[in-house]
Amino acid sequence: MTAESIRVRGLVQGVGFRPTVWRLARACGLSGDVRNDGEGVLIRVCRSDDGDDPGVSGFLERLREECPPLARIDSIERSPIADVQELAHLAQRQDFVILESAATAVHTGIVADAATCAACVAEIRDPADRRYRYPFTNCTHCGPRLSIVAGIPYDRARTSMAAFPMCPDCAAEYKDPADRRFHAQPNACPVCGPKVWLQDAAGHLLDPTAFGAEDAIAAASRLLTEGRILAIKGIGGFHLACDATNPDAVAELRRRKRRYAKPLALMVRDLDVIQGYCRVTGREAAVLAGPGAPIVLLERGGADRGGTSVDDAMAFDGFRCALPKLESGHPSGGDGFRCALPELGLEHPSGEDGFRCALPILRDGAGALRPLAADVAPGQTTLGVMLPYSPIHHLLLTDWDRPLVMTSGNLSEEPQCIDNADALGRLGQLADVLLLHDRAIINRVDDSVVRVMAGQPRLLRRARGYAPTPLPLPPGFEDAPPLLALGGELKNTFCLVRDGQAILSQHLGDLEDAKTAREYERTLALYLDLFQVVPEALAVDLHPDYRSSLIGRDRVARDGLPLIGVQHHHAHLASTLADNGWPLDAGPVLGILLDGLGYGSDGTLWGGECLLGDYLDFKRIAHLKPVAMPGGTRAILEPWRNLYAHLESAGGWAAWRARFDGLEPIERLDAKPLGILSTLIARGLNAPLSSSAGRLFDAVASALGVGGEVLTYEGQAAIALESLASVAMDRVGDGYPFGRSTGPTGEVLDPAPLWEHLLADLSRGRPPEEIAAAFHVGLATALGTLTLDLASRHGISTVALSGGVFQNRLLLESVTSGLEAAGLRVLLQRQVPANDGGLSLGQAAVAAARVLM
Amino acid sequence: MSHGSGGRAMAQLIGELFQRYLDHELLTLGNDQALFTPPPGRLVMSTDGHVISPLFFPGGDIGSLAVHGTINDVAMSGARPLYLAAGFILEEGFPLGDLARIVESMAQAANAAGVPVVTGDTKVVERGKGDGVFITTTGIGVVPEGILISGDRAEPGDVILVSGSMGDHGVAILSKRENLGFETEIRSDSAALHELVAAMIAAVPDIHCLRDPTRGGLATTLNELAHQSGVGMQIREDAIPVRSEVAAACELLGLDPLYVANEGKLIAICPPDQAERLLAAMRAHPLGAESAIIGEVVEDPHRFVQMETGFGGSRIVDWLAGEQLPRIC
Ligand SMILES: [Fe+3]
Ligand SMILES: [Mg+2]
Ligand SMILES: [Zn+2]
Ligand SMILES: [Zn+2]
């Protein structure tokens, strides 16, 4: 007899990998064993002496094919076992067995929370099943993980399931390798597991039968139908929910939550229902239905095409039609839905660019599809939509053929609630009724957000369903020492490096918020424990006032570790490289990094940067022309300040005012206290110069009067501008021009020339969506030309695009396709956000490179 | 005005000027020092260099500011200020008329406060080596028996009070210096606070901390106190008095009034059961008429100063490395 050992690396722990190995090995008639150890999974199999045994190869082939849904095999290495004692030991095995984990440095297999699998959904829908309508049904292939774990090793005793000892039935499943629930730590059933209940804000329990419902979740569903607002405890936090088609409920939710503008996320029962409201591509459908179950930003379409100004002109009873051809069967006013175009004396726009009329969908029955309340996502051409991802949601949405608003359970700006008492205190005022349960959420894990752009799903917020899954670092980083990168200020994540892998925390949020800052430190301690990392160096942003940088500086002062400062945009660049597996020694690329702002290595504020660099270092070779931000942070909140500053920078306000006297934005600016702003700019008084691309978008949005006078969320003006431009991108031809010059800090891209064209177009009455599109096209063209020049000058063939501004699909796709058409390779963020949520990965990669080289 | 030893005529002029306005007997004696017998009690001493542009501003000038600033620093220990010393550094060519105005204002401030300037010195530096005039004042005072006020005494549960609106001085200075021309003229709050302090101590002897939120404003001073005492602080945005014209100016300038300097306000921290009494005593004094309870001291290993915002959120009010620099990406 001979034997071989098979080393499997990847995401193979805590995901039902060993039972799969066990099942397949037995099916293939192999004897031997399987266990977890510090490097992954180790399989040992015996075989007969005569050469290559097809049994083992066949087994491995099936293992790859039938890899459990949450597992990922990175590599399989086979080697013969020579040790005589070991051989003798194995020879005694008649069977194939699962061994307990080896005690050496076990990597604990803390994986991401996963959406309820199809098998579990089938059980909760089956009246004959013992888990019928049981809201905490899960198995090895699905259910909570990160959100319930408090320590290692990952077993039930160190999760919030510790409070629920398994009943004999559950325990039997847990112990049986042939069962889907083998070693499923949160395994539970109605006999032994957590329970849900309804209560009102005063804390009184509500009896579901009083609502004529069979249980609390059915009662909750009924309350939502009646237009009530519910707080719902889920996997990693609370949601506030209401009927998304009920304008009063949505308005009331916004009022209570004090969230007046930011779009609200939706949860929808299934893809069919989504398709009534959005256009869903195959790729988007796959992401929606995957185990991550993120919020996916979808283009509006279907029945409820939402509004840009083209559509706004056609608005009628809150409903829009953009049909190429009227089809028969438009109901006339039955439900208040009529095609608005004939009323307005307008032709239906023709063309194949995606305009569809919603009304035919109504043919199948009046009221079958109701339009969303207008202020679910005001001024947006996209909707954030997710599918149910826990049994609670599946049961809640059973009867819903229209979307529910499912927004994070908090007041604006705060982190969402995770515990019942906190929820009663904070959400009691926001919700009419609370749907609670007694399984504690140990770690807040927000909903992730994905947008499919340039052909790939790209994370905009990486949290539930994704974190803390390790990301393999590119070749060359294998020997990186343990490191900790502390991230940015807003949309913060931190990142640990261990064994050639980067472990990013879930999205933690805005560190100016006190609760978030505390949670940050607690989560950091948890991750260091869960992943057994003792950092040998820390990486922070250069900004002197980022809380993450303060924490980093405090820690190194205490622990005597080296502190590595990483420039903000260099971190964005390195994040893109690491995200794409760019090897450590693969040489420099050209990074186009566009964002709101980051602290530059020269002490000024950057945000529209072209860096030539690798992991180790960079050189700033081009940037947008620095323009003042009069009023500092205030200029970030009030886009009109940037419009003024840009006009001032592009030849002087007085000249523009004289030239475009009477034009709306000029009049609007003229009514502002510009004298004081001009003093701020002239004296450099709280008017820092910044090469920010975000502020340029703000200025253009302000010129068009979109995005609001005072912003209430990050990126608001830029998003409004993108929405506006999205309907006119193909019909504007050449975009607005930018200027170019060479200065001491490299090439300077100057937006000044665009203002002449933009204001002239505006005064000529060119539709604002065309102006917005001409700006996008112009910027993409200018960036493309600049990049091509620089690439050829520096002999570079690869370009990396990152920074929060590249969450703009139009810009990302135009720049990418332009560069690719010219033969360049373009790297984009995918697994981590292009916004500051991806900074920590870049900081970690830069720090690792500096330590290694 | 010329400088150095050659400027004997000038020195005489200045001498006369000081004699005329700062006419305390100890000063007019003409000695190089002031000699006095201290009253019983613990002595406190504080010194402060005053450098400000513009020298004259709504609500005061560098002279009155130099008196108030040092009196306040002495008084924040709970002391009764006794005497001041003043050192002038004048730039050659500084207009004598302006100097006279400053010295006169200084004298008036000291007289009104009842804290005389009893010794002083003047130097003249070459043109270009100074900025008009710098004044350093030193104060000495005596702390009454049984009073122990110190920045390290804040305890969880204690209540935090302020004596009035925040940010007036800094905005007044800025708007005058840059000629910003706000609709309403904003005046500096520059004032001597020792009598207010005396009234507070009389009502509540067990005040734990007093400090005047000068440079860096309320936010910075609370962070200093939190750090010194090893505690956190929880304040409420709605409770912090800020004049509407100051708030409007700050919004326009993009400044946070909590980081803007004051020269006539104090922060007091006292045990919770004394807070109402202290508040009443403060409000009874003209310089504390707009006093308010703004929050509590809390236990917090992070020593955060955090503020409940108008929206119900809770923001960390940080210690800034330098100017107020935007952080939003
Ligand atoms: Fe950024
Ligand atoms: Mg001082
Ligand atoms: Zn399952
Ligand atoms: Zn059970």
Tens-digit pLDDT profile for residues B225-245? 999 999 999 999 999 999 999
Q: What is the mean pLDDT of residues A372-381?
A: 91
| Contact by Cβ (8 Å): A414, A513 | yes
Residue A365 is predicted with a pLDDT of: 38
Residue B7 is predicted with a pLDDT of: 55
Nearest by CB to B314, from A515, A686, A836: name it.
A515
Residues of A in contact with B302 (CB under 8 A): 517-518, 521
Peptide bond into A153 cis (omega under 30): yes
Cα of A68 to nearest chain B Cα, Å:
39
In angstroms, what CA-CA distances link B279 with A87, A688, B164?
A: 84, 41, 11
Chain B CB within 8 Å of residue A833 CB? no
pLDDT band at B312 (very low <50, low <70, confident <90, very high): confident
Chain B CB within 8 Å of residue A522 CB? no
Residue for token digits 């980051």? Answer: A598
d(CA A135, CA A132): 9
Smallest CA–CA distance from B253 into chain A, residue = A631
Poorest-pLDDT segment among A15-19, A54-58, A316-320: A316-320
Residue A366 is predicted with a pLDDT of: 39
Ligand 4 centroid to residue A143 C-alpha, Å: 15
Q: What is the mean pLDDT of residues B186-200?
A: 97
Q: With a cut of 60, say whether residue A138 has pLDDT above it.
A: yes
Q: With a cut of 90, say whether residue A55 has pLDDT above it.
A: no
Residue A109 is predicted with a pLDDT of: 66
Q: With a cut of 80, say whether residue A675 has pLDDT above it.
A: yes
Residues of A in contact with B171 (CB under 8 A): none
Q: What is the mean pLDDT of residues A39-61?
A: 80
CB contact under 8 Å between B328 and A489, yes or no, is yes
In angstroms, what CA-CA distances link B46 with A693, B33, B81, B111?
A: 49, 17, 10, 19
DSSP, collapsed to helix, strand or coil, labels residue A67 as: coil
pLDDT band at B34 (very low <50, low <70, confident <90, very high): confident
Poorest-pLDDT segment among A84-88, B63-67, B96-100, B103-107: A84-88
pLDDT band at A49 (very low <50, low <70, confident <90, very high): low
Q: With a cut of 50, say whether residue A212 has pLDDT above it.
A: yes
pLDDT: which is higher, A324 or A182: A182
CB contact under 8 Å between B326 and A629, yes or no, is yes
pLDDT band at A155 (very low <50, low <70, confident <90, very high): confident
CA-closest candidate to residue B283, choices B268, B297, B272, B305: B268
| Contact by Cβ (8 Å): A17, A41 | yes
Smallest CA–CA distance from B319 into chain A, residue = A545
Q: What is the mean pLDDT of residues A132-149?
A: 96
Chain B CB within 8 Å of residue A609 CB? no
d(CA A370, CA A780): 38
pLDDT band at A607 (very low <50, low <70, confident <90, very high): very high
CA-closest candidate to residue B237, choices A824, A159, A413: A413
In angstroms, what CA-CA distances link A553 with A511, A539, A567, A603, B265?
A: 15, 9, 15, 18, 33
Determine whether A312 is exposed, middle or buried from the number of CB atoms within 10 Å of its CB (0-12, 13-18, 19+): exposed
Ligand 2 centroid to residue B70 C-alpha, Å: 7
CB contact under 8 Å between A413 and B320, yes or no, is no
Q: With a cut of 90, say whether residue B300 has pLDDT above it.
A: yes
Residue A359 is predicted with a pLDDT of: 40
Q: With a cut of 80, say whether residue A258 has pLDDT above it.
A: yes
Q: With a cut of 70, say whether residue A736 has pLDDT above it.
A: yes
A648: which residues sit within 8 A by CB, 6+ positions away?
Answer: A628, A678, A681
Residue B329 is predicted with a pLDDT of: 67
Poorest-pLDDT segment among A347-351, A483-487, A572-576: A347-351
| Contact by Cβ (8 Å): A729, A777 | yes
Residue for token digits 């990998």? Answer: A17
Cα of A413 to nearest chain B Cα, Å:
6
Chain B CB within 8 Å of residue A411 CB? yes
Poorest-pLDDT segment among A343-352, A727-736, B153-162: A343-352
Structure confidence by residue, pLDDT tens digits, A92-101: 888 899 987 7
Residues of B in contact with A676 (CB under 8 A): 180-182, 252-253
Q: With a cut of 90, say whether residue A306 has pLDDT above it.
A: no
How much is the mean pLDDT over chain B?
Answer: 92
d(CA B142, CA B39): 7
Q: With a cut of 60, say whether residue B292 has pLDDT above it.
A: yes
Cα of A716 to nearest chain B Cα, Å:
13
Residue A527 is predicted with a pLDDT of: 95
Residue A765 is predicted with a pLDDT of: 96
pLDDT: which is higher, B92 or B162: B162
Residues with a beta carbon under 5 angstroms from ion ligand 4: A 167, 170, 189, 191-192
Cα of A326 to nearest chain B Cα, Å:
46
Residue A537 is predicted with a pLDDT of: 98
Q: What is the mean pLDDT of residues B258-265?
A: 97
Please provide residue B133's backbone torsions phi and psi, each rounded to the nearest 5 degrees. Answer: -150, 140
Residues of A in contact with B178 (CB under 8 A): 679, 683, 685
Report the percent of chain A where pLDDT is more than 90.
76
CB contact under 8 Å between B312 and A673, yes or no, is no
Residue B316 is predicted with a pLDDT of: 94
Structure confidence by residue, pLDDT tens digits, A222-257: 999 999 999 999 999 999 999 999 999 999 999 999
Q: With a cut of 60, say whether residue A286 has pLDDT above it.
A: yes
Query: Residues A646, A647, A652, A658: what is their CA dihedral angle, to the nearest 10 degrees?
Result: -170
| Interface with A, mutate which of B176, B306, B327 (most A CBs under 10 A) | B327
pLDDT: which is higher, B96 or A330: B96
Radius of gyration of chain A (CA): 28
Poorest-pLDDT segment among A94-108, A215-229, A350-364, B25-39: A350-364
B97: which residues sit within 8 A by CB, 6+ positions away?
Answer: none
Q: Are strands A433-437 and A196-200 parallel, antiparallel or unpaired?
A: antiparallel
Report the percent of chain A where pLDDT is more than 70.
90
Chain B CB within 8 Å of residue A512 CB? yes
pLDDT band at A302 (very low <50, low <70, confident <90, very high): low
| Interface with A, mutate which of B177, B318, B329 (most A CBs under 10 A) | B329
Chain B CB within 8 Å of residue A518 CB? yes
| Interface with B, mutate which of A493, A548, A686 (most B CBs under 10 A) | A686
Residue A105 is predicted with a pLDDT of: 52
CB contact under 8 Å between B329 and A491, yes or no, is yes
CB contact under 8 Å between B327 and A490, yes or no, is yes
CB contact under 8 Å between B325 and A544, yes or no, is yes
CA-closest candidate to residue B192, choices B270, B268, B106, B281: B106
Q: DSSP letters of B211-229? A: E---TTHHHHHHHHHHHHH
Residue A827 is predicted with a pLDDT of: 98
Ligand 3 centroid to residue A137 C-alpha, Å: 7
Report the percent of chain B where pLDDT is more than 90.
75
Peptide bond into B54 cis (omega under 30): yes
Q: What residues of B are in the A interface, CB distance below 8 Å?
A: 174, 178-182, 251-255, 302, 304, 306, 309, 311-316, 318, 320-329
Cα of A500 to nearest chain B Cα, Å:
29
Q: What is the mean pLDDT of residues B157-179?
A: 96
Please provide residue B139's backbone torsions phi and psi, each rounded to the nearest 5 degrees. Answer: -125, 155
Nearest by CB to B320, from A489, A491, A545: name it.
A545
CB contact under 8 Å between B329 and A804, yes or no, is yes
Touching B: A residues 19-48, CB under 8 Å: none
Q: With a cut of 50, say whether residue A350 has pLDDT above it.
A: no
Please provide residue A591's backbone torsions phi and psi, each rounded to the nearest 5 degrees. Answer: -105, 130
Q: Is the ipTM of this complex over 0.85?
A: yes
CB contact under 8 Å between A631 and B178, yes or no, is no
Cα of B171 to nearest chain A Cα, Å:
13
pLDDT band at A323 (very low <50, low <70, confident <90, very high): very low
Q: With a cut of 90, say whether residue A131 has pLDDT above it.
A: yes
pLDDT band at A103 (very low <50, low <70, confident <90, very high): low
Residue B3 is predicted with a pLDDT of: 46
pLDDT: which is higher, B117 or A311: B117
Q: With a cut of 90, say whether residue A534 has pLDDT above it.
A: yes
3-state helix, strand, coil in chain B (%, to 5): 35, 25, 40
DSSP, collapsed to helix, strand or coil, labels residue A724 as: helix
Identity of the highest mean pLDDT range in A343-352, A662-671, B20-29:
A662-671
Q: With a cut of 50, say whether residue A670 has pLDDT above it.
A: yes
CB contact under 8 Å between A685 and B252, yes or no, is no
Residue B210 is predicted with a pLDDT of: 98
| Contact by Cβ (8 Å): A435, A200 | no
Residue B20 is predicted with a pLDDT of: 83
Q: What is the mean pLDDT of residues A781-802?
A: 98
Residues of B in contact with A517 (CB under 8 A): 302, 304, 316
Q: With a cut of 80, say whether residue A390 has pLDDT above it.
A: yes
d(CA A804, CA A838): 10
Identity of the highest mean pLDDT range in A301-315, A721-735, A830-844:
A830-844
d(CA A755, CA A761): 10
Please provide residue A267's backbone torsions phi and psi, each rounded to the nearest 5 degrees. Answer: -120, 135
d(CA A286, CA A295): 12
N-to-C CA span, chain B:
53
CA-closest candidate to residue B329, choices A835, A425, A77: A835
How much is the mean pLDDT over chain A?
Answer: 89
| Contact by Cβ (8 Å): A756, A789 | no
**Structure tokens given for A315:** 């608005």
Q: With a cut of 90, say whether residue A835 has pLDDT above it.
A: yes
CB contact under 8 Å between B252 and A673, yes or no, is yes
Q: With a cut of 80, say whether residue A352 has pLDDT above it.
A: no
Q: What is the mean pLDDT of residues B106-132?
A: 92
Poorest-pLDDT segment among A402-411, B264-273, B293-302: A402-411
Chain B CB within 8 Å of residue A684 CB? no
Residue B18 is predicted with a pLDDT of: 80
